Amino acid sequence: MAIEQRQAAASRHIDGTNERHERQETEMTTQTTSPATRFILQARPKLLAGLRVVPVAMLLIGAASAAAPAGATGCSAAANVAVSGGAVSNRTTVDLSADGGEAFADAEGGNNNTATGGAGGANGDGGDAAAGNGGVAVAQANGGMIDLDDINSGNNAGNTIVASVGSAGCGSGARNLSIDGGRVSNETTVRLSADGGTAVANAEGGNNNSATGGAGGANGDGGDADAGNGGVAVAQANGGAITVGDINSGANRGNTIVASFGGWFGRAANVRINGGTVRNETTVRISADGGTAVANAEGGNNNTATGGAGGANGDGGDAAAGNGGVATAEANGGAVTVGAINSGGNSGNTIVVQGGQGGNVNIDGGTVSNETTIDISANGGTAVANADGGNNNTATGGAGGANGDGGDASAGNGGVAQAEANGGTITVGEINSGGNEGNTIIVGG
C-alpha cells in the first residue's frame, strides 16, 4: 500500500510538472516566432519523456559493468585440462620371397626286364643287350633373385602438444593440467628370402633284370650285356641372390610437449606430464640359404648280365650288372648384398614447462627404446649325392673264341657322386644404430 501511494504521488508530481511546462511552452510559443526556436520547443516533451527512462537504463548499465566476463578483463575461471596424444604408428613391412620350391626328377630303370643281344653273322659282331638301366634325371629348386632399391621408413615425428592454461588471476583457483604424450611407434621389418628349395633327382637302376649279349660270328665279337645300371642324376637347390640398397629407419623424433601456465597474482598450477612411449624397432632378416639337394644314381640289385661268347677269332662280350651311374647334388648358399643400414640418430621426447609459479610439476619422461635386429644368412644347405653300386648282382663274361679274348664282367660297381653345400657370400655396408638421444626436459620458473 505504501508503494502504491508513493507511485501516485510521483505521478501527481510529474503531471503537475508537465502542466507547468506546457503552460510555459504555450507562452513561449506565442512570444517567439523563430523557426529554430519553435522546433526545439515542439520536441521538448519527447526529450522529457526520454529522461524518465534514463535512470532505469543507467541501472542496467551499472549491473552489466559489475558482472563483466573474465575474458574482457583478463580474468578466467580455474580449468582442468587433460590431453592424450593418442597413438602414432608408422609401420613398414617388406616381405619378399623368391625361394626355390620342390623339384623331383625320376629316371629310374624298370624292374624284372629281360634283354637278349642278337647273334653275330659269319663275320659280324654280336648285338648289345640292355635291361632296366637308369636314365638321366635333373632337378632344380634354386632360389631366385631379389633386387631392391633403398628402403626409407625413417624421419618420423610423434605428437606435438601445446597446452596453455592461461592466467589464474582475479581470485580464481589453481590450474590442473594433465598431459599424456601417447605412444609413438616406428616399426620397420624387412624380410627377404631367396632360399633354395628341395630338389630330388633319381636315376636309379632297376632290380631283377636280366641281359644276355649275343654270340659272335666266325670272326665277330660277342655282344655286350647291361642290366639295371644307374644313369645320371643332377639335383640343385642353391640359394638365390638378394641385393638391397640402403635401409633407413632412423632419425625419428618422439613427442614434443610444451606447457605454459601462470597467473597475474602468481596462482599455483598443478602439472602432470607423462612423455609416453617412444619405440623405434628395426628388424632386417635376409636369407639366401642353400636348400636340400638329393641326387641318386644307384645301381640296382639282383641283376644278371652274361657276355656273349666270342667267335672263332672273336672276343667275348662284356657283361655289366647293377653299376652305379653319376650323381651330382648342389645346395650352396646364395649371395646377399645390402647397402648401409641406419636405425640410429633417434630422439626421445622433448618436454618444456614454462610459467610455474608456486605450483606442483610432476614429469615422467616416459620410455624411449631403440631396437635393431639384423639377421642375414647365406648358409649352405644339405646336398646328398648317391651313386652306389647295387647289391647281389651277377655278371658273367663271354668265352673267347679259338683266338679270341674272354669278355669282361662287372657287377655292382659304384659310379661318380658329387655333392656341394658351401656357404654363400654376404656383403653389408655400414650399420649405424647409434647416435640416439633420450628425453629432453626443460622446466622454467
pLDDT in tens, 53-98: 334 333 222 322 233 333 334 555 556 778 888 888 888 999 999 9
Look up the pTM and report it: 0.70
373/442: higher pLDDT: 373
pLDDT tens digits for 269-321? 688 999 999 999 999 999 999 999 999 988 888 989 888 888 788 888 888 88
DSSP structural state of residue 253:
B
Q: Which residue has the higher pLDDT, 256 or 413?
A: 256
pLDDT in tens, 392-429: 888 888 888 778 888 888 888 888 889 898 999 999 99
Angle between helices 35-66 and 2-31 (to 10 degrees): 150
Task: Give residue-wise pLDDT tens across range 215-243.
Answer: 887 888 888 888 888 889 999 999 999 99
365 or 38: whose pLDDT is higher? 365
- For residues 99 and 197, the answer to whether their CB atoms sit within 8 Å is yes
Does the pLDDT of residue 43 top 90, yes or no? no
Between 270 and 10, whose confidence is greater? 270
Q: Measure the CA–CA gap between 263 and 75, rounded to whole angstroms.
A: 9
Site of grid cell 649275343: 214
Q: At 266, is the pLDDT very low, low, confident or very high (cuts 50, 70, 90)?
A: very low
> Is it the case that residue 35 has pLDDT exceeding 60?
no
Nearest to 297 by CA among 140, 106, 23: 106
- The predicted-structure confidence for 336-367, as pLDDT tens digits, reads as follows 999 999 999 999 999 998 875 566 888 899 99
By DSSP bridging, strand 292-296 and strand 256-260 are: unpaired
- Cα distance between residue 371 and residue 348, in whole Å: 14
Task: Please check whether residue 424 is in contact with residue 378, taking contact to mean a CB–CB distance below 8 angstroms.
Answer: yes
Contact 326, 299 (CB under 8 A): no
Closest CA to 225 of 300, 126, 307: 307
- DSSP state, 157? B
Is 104 in contact with 139 (CB distance < 8 Å)?
yes
Q: How much is the average pLDDT of 155-160?
A: 90
CB 185, CB 276: distance < 8 Å: no
Cβ–Cβ contacts within 10 Å for residue 96, how many? 14
335 vs 9, residue with greater confidence: 335
CB-CB contact of 158 with 255 (8 Å): yes
Quickly state the pLDDT bin for 180 (edges 50, 70, 90).
Answer: very high
What separation in angstroms does the CA of 405 have from each of 46, 155, 320, 362? 158, 86, 17, 107
pLDDT tops 70 at residue 31:
no
Residue 187 three-state SS: strand
Q: Per-residue pLDDT averaged across 154-177, rounded? A: 71
pLDDT on residue 261: 67
Give the pLDDT confidence score for residue 8 in this predicted structure: 39
Instruction: Give the whole-angstrom CA distance, residue 332 versus residue 423.
Output: 6
What letter represents residue 127's amino acid? G
pLDDT averaged over the chain? 78
Max mean pLDDT range (39-48, 107-116, 247-256): 247-256
